[in-house]
Amino acid sequence: MSSASVRGMVRSPFVLVVGVVLTWFIAAFLVWPNVNVLMATFFPDGSFSGRAAEKLFSSQRAMKALGNSFLLAVALSITVNLVGIFIVLVTHYFRIRGSRILFLGYASTFIYGGIVLAAGYKFIYGDKGIVTSLLVKVFPGMDPGWFSGFFAVLVVMTFATTTNHMLFVANALKGIDYQTIEAARNLGASTWTILRRIVLPMLKPTLFAVTILSFLTGLGALSAPQVLGGRDFQTITPMILTFTNSPTSRDLAALLAVILGLATILMLAVMSRLEKGGTYFSVSKVSSELQKQEITNPAANIAVHVLAYLLFAVYTLPVVLIVLYSFADGAAIQTGQLALGNLTLDNYVRVLTQQSGLRPFIVSVVYSALAALIAVGGLLFVARLLQKYKNWVATAFEYLLHIPWILPSALLALGLIISYDHPNPLVGGAVLTGTTVILLIAFVTVKIPFTLRMLKASFASVNSSLEEAAAIMGARTLYVFRRILLPLVLPAAAAITALNFNSLLDDYDTAIFLAHPLVQPLGLVIKANTDGAEGVAGVANTFVYTVLLMVITGVTMYLVYGRSSRGKSRKKRLPAVPPASPVPGPGLPGTPVSTEDAAQPAAPVR
């Protein structure tokens, strides 16, 4: 690409400003703290020892757990895609009866996760679960402990992590030009062929991005294996957490984390390579909105309907039970005995009348909202540039921005503390520990890789000819960005913001080390009220907090995503093309015209 040269890049003032701020941010908050913590970990006395590697590689348990984590990561990358694509097609592509209800069911993963989700599945399929009890009645010889081990973990995590598909793949699907599909149909293509040759190829950048996320989720699996893995399927994350907490074993934790991190980066490299060179946007001049497809084969139609509603049940049952159990007492939750007569509001009264009251909720909402907005706002520019300029500088930046994926958040937090507990020139001589900014910085940094991946994928599906047209008419870089690109990626950006916000709400790992003592976020309060050592009420509190968080995150998703997607469908296909500006642009160095795109085939159909 002629536009991709490094020299072309630095000629644009826009690129320069973004580049300089980015360089500083990466150096100050991604590289320096983590280099510090890794140095302190691997070179405690100034000399390196191979101790950590030796210990780890000779430990059968560590190797098995590591193997399990990788197995889960690979398996999840496949299963999440299968289920994810299916539910996206069912809700957005095919004409299915009750697809709105189905959507709500599948969307339940937007609002909860973690240990409670695993517990929810256990209530249903575990040895004392509802479904298991039914099955045992039908098949008396059945093992009530059937739902455990790798299979159970994979099933639960597959259904728990289709959130990204529902948001981003669905969003990308809406961007497909219907005329291409109609044309293919007129040429005699079957439903299946259209799916395989037109629809799925257009979704590729987004699918690659969500595949990386699924892989990462599998590698970092924690609660599902703990609850359902049993003796035979334990993963590496619990070990990493234990070792992170023990100063003398922290090198093992760091080494394990780096191994997982490198695997993620490798995955990223493979996906980037696969993604390269394709055209993932509609190039038709007058594109039209996607219309839902009828499944013509009646047998297939029935099968898809049945499957869709089965999945709906799988998705919604745990949520229903979690909400019900949140009204039961802790002993009932743990012994799995639910009696409708024993449901009371006691748990909610206890949680909501605490001395701290609503304050931690507000603190968390403010922190999470700020961090989510800053991450997405800042990275909009960065993702755009990385997507546009494909040279070694851009690639280097891109990989550096993934550093937070490599280390567990506790180590990131420790790195920030040891780097900024004294006046540091990188931040103008300020001391950051003990301030309220340091947690915000940590929140922003941990969300960078996810935000960047998803934003980049969404920029990749924007038709560059719109931008070129605007540039030819004299629009300046920022104007093009604001009036053309932004409206097109806004739905995705809003969804990312909402997801970031949701995931930060109950953060504990970062906040425990960095929170200002007078401004403590929700995660710390939840931990204090739900830790194993906190009595029977602790488990009940976990459920109450989960339901309360479901409410907050549900509202967020509705406000941000629900509304923006509807707004989008109204204005769809009418990107705000700026009125031809009579002001002659200054040579428009920032928007070099791509020549290669024009040479691409007219549709991504090969």
Partner 1 sequence: MRKLQSLVAAAVAAALLAGCGGAASPPASSADASSAPAGGSGETLVVYTNSNGEGRGEWLTAKAAEAGFTIEIVGAGGADATNKLIAEKNNPIADVAFGLNNMYFSQIKAEDALEPYTPSWAGEVDKELGDGETYWPLVKQAILLGYNSDKISKDSAPQDWTDLWTKDEFKDRYERVTGLGTATAQLVFAGILSRYRDDSGDLGISDEGWQQVEQYFQNGSPAVAKTDLFARIASGEVDMGQMPSSIIAEREKSFKVNVDTVIPSVGVPLAVEQIALVKGTGKKEQAQKFIDWFGSADVQGAFAQQFNSMPVNKSAEAKANPEVVDFFADLKQQDIDWEFVQENMGAWVEKIELEYMT
Contacting partner 1 within 45-74 (CB under 8 A) = 55-56, 58-62
The amino acid present at 96, given as its one-letter code, is I
Q: How far is the CB of 503 from partner 1 (least distance, A)?
A: 20
Residue with Cβ nearer partner 1 (199 or 427)? 427
- Rounded to whole angstroms, the Cα distance separating 400 from 261 reads 12
437 forms part of the interface with partner 1 (CB under 8 A):
yes
242 forms part of the interface with partner 1 (CB under 8 A):
yes
Please select the residue that binds partner 1; options are 141, 186, 355, 599, rule is CB under 8 A. 355
292 forms part of the interface with partner 1 (CB under 8 A):
no
223 forms part of the interface with partner 1 (CB under 8 A):
yes
Residue with Cβ nearer partner 1 (293 or 354)? 354
Residues 6 or more apart whose Cβ sits within 8 Å of residue 171? 206, 458, 491, 492, 495, 565
Residue with Cβ nearer partner 1 (100 or 231)? 231
Please select the residue that binds partner 1; options are 123, 168, 243, 281, rule is CB under 8 A. 243
Question: Do the beta carbons of residue 417 and residue 462 sit within 8 Å?
Answer: no
Q: Interface with partner 1 by CB under 8 A: which range of 105-113, 220-228, 282-290, 400-408?
A: 220-228
- Rounded to whole angstroms, the Cα distance separating 281 from 176 reads 8
Residue with Cβ nearer partner 1 (140 or 517)? 517
DSSP 422: S
Number of residues written out for the chain: 606
Write out the two tokens for 564.
């923006």
- Crossing angle of helices 536-556/486-505, nearest 10°? 170
Angle (nearest 5°) at CA 101 between 96 and 107: 110
Q: Enumerate residues 123-182 that contact partner 1 by CB under 8 A.
A: 128
Q: How far is the CB of 333 from partner 1 (least distance, A)?
A: 9
Q: How far is the CB of 109 from partner 1 (least distance, A)?
A: 19
- Rounded to whole angstroms, the Cα distance separating 136 from 129 reads 10
Q: How far is the CB of 231 from partner 1 (least distance, A)?
A: 6
599: left (phi over 0), alpha (psi -120 to 50) or beta: alpha
Residue with Cβ nearer partner 1 (294 or 531)? 531
Q: Interface with partner 1 by CB under 8 A: which range of 81-89, 207-215, 536-544, 547-555?
A: 536-544
Please select the residue that binds partner 1; options are 15, 66, 119, 314, rule is CB under 8 A. 119
HSE of 580 in the Cβ direction (CA atoms, 13 Å)? Answer: 4
Write out the two tokens for 87.
């539910």
23 forms part of the interface with partner 1 (CB under 8 A):
yes
- Rounded to whole angstroms, the Cα distance separating 266 from 396 reads 14
The per-residue b/e assignment along 475-513, b for 16 or more CB within 10 angstroms, e otherwise, is bbbebbbebbbeebbebbbbbbbbbbbbbbbbbbbbbbb
Residue with Cβ nearer partner 1 (71 or 466)? 71
Binding mask 488-517 for partner 1 (x = CB under 8 A): ------------------------xx-xxx
357: left (phi over 0), alpha (psi -120 to 50) or beta: left
Nearest in space to 195 (alpha carbons), one of 295, 264, 102: 295
Please select the residue that binds partner 1; options are 211, 279, 529, 553, rule is CB under 8 A. 529
Residue with Cβ nearer partner 1 (215 or 243)? 243
Using H for helix, E for strand and C for coil, what is the string for 156-168? HHHHHCCHHHHHH
Binding mask 401-420 for partner 1 (x = CB under 8 A): -------------x--xx--
Helix, strand, coil percent values for the chain (each to nearest 5): 70, 0, 25
Please select the residue that binds partner 1; options are 67, 98, 357, 535, rule is CB under 8 A. 535
- Rounded to whole angstroms, the Cα distance separating 567 from 174 reads 13
Q: Enumerate residues 439-498 that contact partner 1 by CB under 8 A.
A: 440
273 forms part of the interface with partner 1 (CB under 8 A):
no
- Rounded to whole angstroms, the Cα distance separating 426 from 25 reads 9
Binding mask 359-388 for partner 1 (x = CB under 8 A): -----------x------------------
Residue with Cβ nearer partner 1 (174 or 359)? 359
Sign of CA dihedral 85, 91, 93, 98: positive
Please select the residue that binds partner 1; options are 518, 574, 583, 599, rule is CB under 8 A. 518
39 forms part of the interface with partner 1 (CB under 8 A):
no
- Rounded to whole angstroms, the Cα distance separating 212 from 25 reads 24
17 forms part of the interface with partner 1 (CB under 8 A):
yes
Q: How far is the CB of 21 from partner 1 (least distance, A)?
A: 5
